Chains A and B, each alone.
Chain A
Amino acid sequence: MGDSELLVFVGNMTFVDTDVFQLWLEGKAVIEASNVRYKSGKFAKVRMQHIVSDIEDNYRNFMAIEKYLRNPPSLSNQVMFQIPQRTQEYLIQEYYSLNSSVAREILGKKLSSRHRKDLDEVSEKTDVTLKSCRRQYDNFKRVFKTVEDMQGSMVKNITENFLLSKELAKKYAAIVFFANNRFETGKKRLAFVTFDDFVYCADKMINNWTVGSANSSAKEDLDADFDRDFLRDLRELKILGEKDCSEQHRSFVRNTLKGKVSETVISQVHAEFRNLTKAIINIGSNMIHSKDLRDFFLDVVEKIIEPCKQDGWSAKDMAAFLNAYNNNCKHLECFGRQPKLQMVQERYMDTLTSCILKMFHN
């Protein structure tokens, strides 16, 4: 009967074919999606026209529902579609799902319309359709706009305002955090760091280094901004670099490591100790300058991770070293009389250690 001029199905309940929804999220046009379905072999005896019509019906529903998905709490309040509760949850989680590769590209960039125009490059690079990239980008921006100035836990804010699972909300929190602080992530040196690594680091930093973290003394409760007081205090860690202190620290570390790592590593620790200390102190004390803060990951990789990798350290070696390094600080004479300094050191080093170890892979 050829092409139908009009064929529309509307039910009182709106059910969602998950396969079709995925095709829609992928940004496949009706005809592409129909071909995918037709060739899938699932519907061997079904005529193409029925598949097309079914996809059209689904797509029309999705397009109308998209308006509510942009503000997920409205999905359960709207009266236009009767959607089963679990399907509503599914639609939201899936609409806000992201490709790590796409998110990795956008991470740290300012979420401006200029970047939205560059999405075709992202699409090309990641092999994700432009439509899907745009949806993800718009989601990032929407979440960013909503929670950037919101008081309280960012992850909690995201789960409440977008009804996302905690795991997914953490990813969005990382994106908001990176976009807000404009971390450099695009340099070649950082290419090996995955999106998941960054999500992990962002989570640690949010929990320990921001105004909203538990150990912050600031009155505000913002997860997106660093605790300036803390960053200022970090400068006092320079004491670790002073000769006496550093020598003592080195010998403590060496003693602790004995028997835990190979002799080669111990001798390398001995040789590189001053450089590593210097790197650790510099990264910390420079974070007060926003330009240096942006290069945080670059510096960590260039000054700490790469040299150690070149020396052939394993992740275990690295962990043992950082552990020994951190634990011995409090025994240092130069630290002994300053409990506050010790707290700052711990707050800094715990998170830094986590970040270094997370990224310590090829």
Chain B
Amino acid sequence: MPGKLKVRIIAARDLPIMDRASDLADAFVEVKFGQDIHKTEVCRKSLNPQWNTDWYKFEVDDEELQDEPLQIRVMDYDTYSAHDVIGKLYIDLNPLLWNEGASNISGWFPIYDTMHGVRGEMNVVVSVELFPDLNKFRQSSCGVQFFSTSQVPARHTMSSVLGFVEELVVNDDPEYQWIDKIRTPRASNEARQLLFSKISGQLQRKIGLKVLEIGGNAVLGYWQCFDLEGESGIVVRGIGTAALLQKMDTPLSPTSLSPPKDFYKELPSTSHDNQSESGSYESTGGSVKTWQGAPPSPTKGVPIKHHGSETDLAGSIGGGSSGSGGHRMSRSAPPLMNIDLLEYPFFTMTSFPTDFVVHLAGMVTARSVKLLDRIHNPDEPETRDAWWREIRTEIRSHANAMGCHAVVGYRETTTICDEICVLSASGTAAIVNVSLQQRNPAGILTVSLDRTEFIKEQQDATSVNDGMSESFHQDNVGTSCSLCHIPYKDSTLPFPVTLSKCQVCRKYKVPDILITTVEPPAELQYTGRGCFLQARICRPKKHAQGESNATQIGDALPFMEYELHRRIINKLKVKGMNALFGLRVQVIVGEELLVGTATGTAVYISALPPPSALKLTGKTGNIDEDDKKISSLQKRISDAIAKNKEQYNLTTTDHTTELTDSPKHTDSQLDVDDLGDSQLYRDAYIFEIDDADNKEIADALLEPDLPAGFFSCSTEKMPGDLNLTKQVQTVNLVWRQSMKQPSNQNLSRIFENLLESLCFKLRALYPCCLCSLQFDVALPEDEIIQIWVTAALLEVADSKSTPKKKGPRNSADADLMFAIEELSPPSPQQSQTPVKGVKSATKLDKKLQIKEMSVYPEVQLTPLPNIPGAHIDEYLGNINIFFIRESTSLTQGGGVNGFMHHFITEVNAMVRSHVAALGGNALVVYTMIDCILMENPHKNQCQCLVNVSGDAVHVQYDSDVMYIGQRVGESQGSSPRNIPQSES
């Protein structure tokens, strides 16, 4: 009842020829919502039909508005036989359901057909009138905003953070239903697309209900996945962080691109008067081994315990809304959260407001191997809920073991291969300060109270409480190092950690290496510049079925994790750095292969000790020859370390010497002997070599540099002094090949090759930085490995940090993968020369075009949460679209390369049109996941599925450069615009 949906169909253009005789089409449009259908008139004999209809009105429930997409179908009228479908358009109405979102959806959308791709465009206007419904038994959750952005969105402030929310919906996969045997591929694809759209709407509605229940109004860091389990169905999972957000009315100054901080500055009487409070954010202890300390779940291979009591957690499909993740608190705003009452104190966010994270301890991981064919009733979500509950419980206990009560940067993933499903969760154990509202002026009184309570909570929550309460003393207020101070007591850790005194405050203990899954916090002080770092390994596996297969995988997982860990730490040492941020560890299961990657951004945190030298030693009983090899390798590595130190600007004033001068042990916590031990221990990091094969070791330790002028990081932010001014390109690179001899070396070669190829493709845009560089690996078939590379390419403006680019290339050049062609400096008159005929047109040289790249695209797509050189005015809605494309004429369309190229181009175009129709000009946190490509070259067939998501926003660019097209309506006068009239 409480909603009115209105739709107008304006026109279409560039329709395909549907009638061979006339080379035209007789198009009409069907507008469908739920069970109601409206049809337009047939517009005869036109490829550019105009309908200009009145409003089609649908009276609907808001629940339906959340679940169902609006379906628009363009048809070709046929008097005698069935009408042909030209293409379809699905519009998600959720962005129209929040007050602050878009007011209507209006614009040109590509008309899409799963078999033919984009076939023309259509102009549609959609609006929704919502009547507020305060019925407390309602099933809808209109008004809850979903953000893929995993930080506090620009121009918003977070009054409180309410914890982890999750939901999971299970459904049949239409592709596996009996009916699929008799229907066309098109019908099957469309059924799937529609279903995906519906269940993702449903999922958001249910999560929304949970958020409302705990007093929130938004979900941050929303992460949604489709698990295509095959026979057992489709699972759609969503996780996020519930929060209460407030929109700021004051416009931000263009320079203030980091809203959380600004917020605190703007608020009166905040920071200093509650020093005690800000004092409570602090230190972090990191541990390397935590990672390793998270072995796969013991339940591997053995499916399913039923937790009957909690079955309503995820809600059955038609079902009730029972909050699962959070406890229910019906306090009026702002709701308070007590972190220790949370079942899962997890935060999917990766960047936090200042003071939120107190200490970062280290990464925690849990994995579990499950058999899909053992699910008792696959149509119900209980089993999967139970699986995830196990994983989450394990993560929580790992965090507790590190003296932490929270996990930040939390993420859940799966990898499926036939009946095997590996569930993974990872995050960073941390101590957080959730009581953000204490920062209100009114909250001063409660500060001390809350703080003691807070400490008490922590003591309750963790077994290692002394260290923690200690660390909450206020004496290191304002230092940038507290995030790294360890929250645990070293003696209580289940694994050894090398500790030393903090290099900045020289009071608290810090680990030698810090590994996290979050973005590099702005509060920390970094030395030099960060860089992308990756370790990759593979491991053959016997072909097996069922339980034995699961056991085999389960047994291999800890070894893979250990090996990945060892390799990336070694590489980190060679880089001369001591921390990893945004670390993602992927383990992918194939038929006869396991592949693991660990990808992160390496950086030198000033507070942490400098990395120890890497010493190679052979195994006992070496032959002389081996010694020679080792010593030559040792030299190579030492050279590499020295070079890296220079390249990443890691040379700083030596803190260690100062450290000895200032033995300020004000802190009873610090054990001097302990420190001494660890110093000794740290002097050399010993790397034992079993086999003095140069190549293998060099592979494991050394990574070729990117070409001069290229920088990279896996995180959204590049730690360090690089001045990144604007985004110039969005990268989508798909690679697939059969790997005949899987070995670690071959695998590394593949990744290196891909990076090399990518840099070559981007050569015209250097100097630049690949941010948010991610590699998604899949093993779709026997011996086939697929990698999907995504990144944002940012322009590097500051030449200071790119010394290599300026000077003549020196010997270091030899190590680069390739030298980039020299670009001649732009000559001023050339850039003025208008395009004149054939000859002079060629003068429009490269440099001119590069200059042009400073022009902003009409719709920017970026994996980053914001756009450098611009600031976000408005969030217009979360975009989450599933596309399927199939071809039965693969060779005619340029093979699988042509197919994929075309499909990604189309997907980007469609996503852009959705953003533009909401009134936006950019999609932030643009993510393509669940990319599944199935091909059958023998049958000339290919199918690809992809899920695209992100936040549609409107941004204001700081400098007033023109948009590229400025088309649509403007300057379409009689004279051709922008064509230079050079002749007199």
Listed in ascending order, the chain A residues whose CB lies under 8 Å from chain B are 1-2, 4-13, 15-18, 22, 42-47, 49-51, 53-54, 56-57, 60-61, 63-64, 74, 76-77, 79-87, 89-90, 93-94, 97-98, 159-160, 163-168, 171
Can you offer 23 A-B residue contacts whose CB atoms are under 8 A?
Answer: A4-B736, A6-B735, A6-B736, A7-B734, A11-B729, A13-B728, A47-B756, A74-B14, A76-B967, A77-B968, A83-B964, A85-B962, A85-B964, A89-B835, A89-B979, A93-B838, A97-B837, A163-B979, A165-B836, A165-B980, A165-B982, A165-B983, A171-B837
Q: Are A94 and B841 in contact (CB under 8 A)?
A: yes
- Chain A residue contacts of B750, Cβ below 8 A: 1
Q: Known pairs A50-B756, A53-B761, A93-B838; list 5 more (Cβ under 8 Å).
A: A8-B733, A18-B846, A45-B818, A85-B962, A94-B842
Q: Give the complex CA separation of A50 and B735 in angstroms.
A: 13
Q: Give the complex CA separation of A202 and B836 in angstroms.
A: 20
B 284-331 contacts with A by CB, 8 A: none
Shortest Cβ distance from residue A90 to the other chain B in the assembled complex, whole angstroms: 5
Q: Give the complex CA separation of A22 and B47 in angstroms.
A: 33
Listed in ascending order, the chain B residues whose CB lies under 8 Å from chain A are 14, 108, 110, 118, 121, 728-738, 746, 749-750, 753, 756-758, 760-761, 764-765, 786, 816-819, 821, 834-838, 841-842, 844-846, 848-849, 852-853, 855, 857-861, 894, 896-898, 900-902, 904-906, 908-909, 912-913, 933, 962, 964-965, 967-968, 974-976, 978-983
| Among B729, B746, B819, contact of A13 (Cβ-Cβ < 8 Å) | B729
Q: Are B735 and A160 in contact (CB under 8 A)?
A: no
Q: Are A11 and B732 in contact (CB under 8 A)?
A: yes
| Among A44, A80, A85, A97, contact of B819 (Cβ-Cβ < 8 Å) | A44
Q: Are A42 and B901 in contact (CB under 8 A)?
A: no
- Chain A residue contacts of B965, Cβ below 8 A: 76, 82, 85
Which of B849, B974, B976 has the largest number of chain A CB atoms within 10 A? B976
Q: Give the complex CA separation of A2 and B741 in angstroms.
A: 13
- Chain A residue contacts of B844, Cβ below 8 A: 18, 86, 90
| Among B729, B736, B737, contact of A12 (Cβ-Cβ < 8 Å) | B729
- Chain B residue contacts of A18, Cβ below 8 A: 842, 844-846, 849
Q: Give the complex CA separation of A47 and B904 in angstroms.
A: 26
Shortest Cβ distance from residue A6 to the other chain B in the assembled complex, whole angstroms: 4
Q: Are B901 and A57 in contact (CB under 8 A)?
A: yes
* Nearest 7 pairs of A and B residues by beta carbon: A12-B730, A45-B818, A6-B736, A10-B904, A97-B838, A50-B760, A42-B821
Q: Are B837 and A80 in contact (CB under 8 A)?
A: no
Q: Are A1 and B753 in contact (CB under 8 A)?
A: yes
Q: Are A89 and B853 in contact (CB under 8 A)?
A: no
Q: Are B909 and A16 in contact (CB under 8 A)?
A: no
Q: Are A64 and B964 in contact (CB under 8 A)?
A: no
Q: Are B857 and A13 in contact (CB under 8 A)?
A: yes
Q: Give the complex CA separation of A252 and B924 in angstroms.
A: 83
Q: Are A165 and B837 in contact (CB under 8 A)?
A: yes
Q: Give the complex CA separation of A98 and B838 in angstroms.
A: 7
Q: Are B894 and A9 in contact (CB under 8 A)?
A: no
- Chain A residue contacts of B967, Cβ below 8 A: 76-77
- Chain A residue contacts of B849, Cβ below 8 A: 15-16, 18, 84, 86-87, 90
CB-CB under 8 A for A46 and B731, given A54-B761, A60-B894, A163-B979 = no
Q: Are A82 and B857 in contact (CB under 8 A)?
A: yes
- Chain B residue contacts of A84, Cβ below 8 A: 849, 852-853, 855, 964
Which B residue's beta carbon lies closest to that of A74? B14
Q: Are A12 and B841 in contact (CB under 8 A)?
A: no
| Among A8, A16, A63, contact of B904 (Cβ-Cβ < 8 Å) | A8
Which B residue's beta carbon lies closest to that of A46? B818
Q: Give the complex CA separation of A63 and B732 in angstroms.
A: 19
Which A residue's beta carbon lies closest to that of B860? A12
- Chain A residue contacts of B982, Cβ below 8 A: 165-167
- Chain B residue contacts of A93, Cβ below 8 A: 835, 837-838, 841
- Chain B residue contacts of A167, Cβ below 8 A: 836-837, 982-983
Q: Give the complex CA separation of A136 and B757 in angstroms.
A: 34
A-side interface mostly: mixed
B-side interface mostly: mixed
- Chain A residue contacts of B729, Cβ below 8 A: 11-13, 15
Q: Are A8 and B897 in contact (CB under 8 A)?
A: yes
Shortest Cβ distance from residue B841 to the other chain A in the assembled complex, whole angstroms: 5
Q: Give the complex CA separation of A302 and B225 in angstroms.
A: 80
- Chain A residue contacts of B737, Cβ below 8 A: 1-2, 4-6
Q: Are B853 and A13 in contact (CB under 8 A)?
A: yes
- Chain A residue contacts of B731, Cβ below 8 A: 9, 11
Q: Give the complex CA separation of A54 and B733 in angstroms.
A: 12
Which B residue's beta carbon lies closest to that of A163? B976
Q: Are A7 and B897 in contact (CB under 8 A)?
A: yes
Which of B816, B848, B857 has the largest number of chain A CB atoms within 10 A? B857
Shortest Cβ distance from residue A60 to the other chain B in the assembled complex, whole angstroms: 5
Q: Give the complex CA separation of A138 and B656 in angstroms.
A: 75
Q: Give the complex CA separation of A141 and B757 in angstroms.
A: 40
Q: Give the complex CA separation of A57 and B761 in angstroms.
A: 9
CB-CB under 8 A for A10 and B732, given A22-B842, A57-B761 = yes
Q: Are A6 and B842 in contact (CB under 8 A)?
A: no
Shortest Cβ distance from residue A227 to the other chain B in the assembled complex, whole angstroms: 25
- Chain B residue contacts of A77, Cβ below 8 A: 967-968
Which A residue's beta carbon lies closest to that of B784? A5
Q: Give the complex CA separation of A353 and B981 in angstroms.
A: 28
Shortest Cβ distance from residue B560 to the other chain A in the assembled complex, whole angstroms: 23
| Among A8, A47, A97, contact of B734 (Cβ-Cβ < 8 Å) | A8
- Chain B residue contacts of A89, Cβ below 8 A: 835, 978-979
Q: Give the complex CA separation of A263 and B816 in angstroms.
A: 76
Q: Are B836 and A86 in contact (CB under 8 A)?
A: no
- Chain A residue contacts of B834, Cβ below 8 A: 165
Shortest Cβ distance from residue B927 to the other chain A in the assembled complex, whole angstroms: 14
Which of B853, B901, B962, B964 has the largest number of chain A CB atoms within 10 A? B901
Q: Are B841 and A79 in contact (CB under 8 A)?
A: no
Shortest Cβ distance from residue A164 to the other chain B in the assembled complex, whole angstroms: 7
Q: Give the complex CA separation of A350 and B308 in angstroms.
A: 101
CB-CB under 8 A for A160 and B897, given A87-B852, A90-B841 = no
Which A residue's beta carbon lies closest to that of B983? A166
Shortest Cβ distance from residue B771 to the other chain A in the assembled complex, whole angstroms: 14
- Chain B residue contacts of A53, Cβ below 8 A: 757, 761
- Chain A residue contacts of B980, Cβ below 8 A: 165
- Chain A residue contacts of B978, Cβ below 8 A: 85, 89
| Among A1, A22, A44, A79, contact of B108 (Cβ-Cβ < 8 Å) | A79
- Chain B residue contacts of A98, Cβ below 8 A: 838
Q: Give the complex CA separation of A5 and B898 in angstroms.
A: 11
Which A residue's beta carbon lies closest to that of B907? A10
Which B residue's beta carbon lies closest to that of A167? B837
Shortest Cβ distance from residue B502 to the other chain A in the assembled complex, whole angstroms: 43
Q: Give the complex CA separation of A321 and B265 in angstroms.
A: 88
Q: Are B896 and A5 in contact (CB under 8 A)?
A: yes
Q: Are B913 and A60 in contact (CB under 8 A)?
A: no
CB-CB under 8 A for A6 and B734, given A85-B978, A93-B841, A163-B979 = yes
Which of A42, A50, A54 has the largest number of chain B CB atoms within 10 A? A50
Shortest Cβ distance from residue A114 to the other chain B in the assembled complex, whole angstroms: 22
- Chain A residue contacts of B837, Cβ below 8 A: 93, 97, 165, 167-168, 171
- Chain B residue contacts of A165, Cβ below 8 A: 834-837, 979-983
Shortest Cβ distance from residue B109 to the other chain A in the assembled complex, whole angstroms: 9
Shortest Cβ distance from residue B780 to the other chain A in the assembled complex, whole angstroms: 11
- Chain B residue contacts of A56, Cβ below 8 A: 897
Q: Give the complex CA separation of A1 and B748 in angstroms.
A: 11
Which A residue's beta carbon lies closest to that of B821? A42
- Chain A residue contacts of B902, Cβ below 8 A: 60, 64
Q: Give the complex CA separation of A159 and B908 in angstroms.
A: 32
Which A residue's beta carbon lies closest to that of B753? A1
- Chain B residue contacts of A85, Cβ below 8 A: 852, 855, 962, 964-965, 978
- Chain B residue contacts of A81, Cβ below 8 A: 905, 909
Shortest Cβ distance from residue A305 to the other chain B in the assembled complex, whole angstroms: 28
- Chain A residue contacts of B735, Cβ below 8 A: 4, 6-8
- Chain B residue contacts of A54, Cβ below 8 A: 757, 760-761
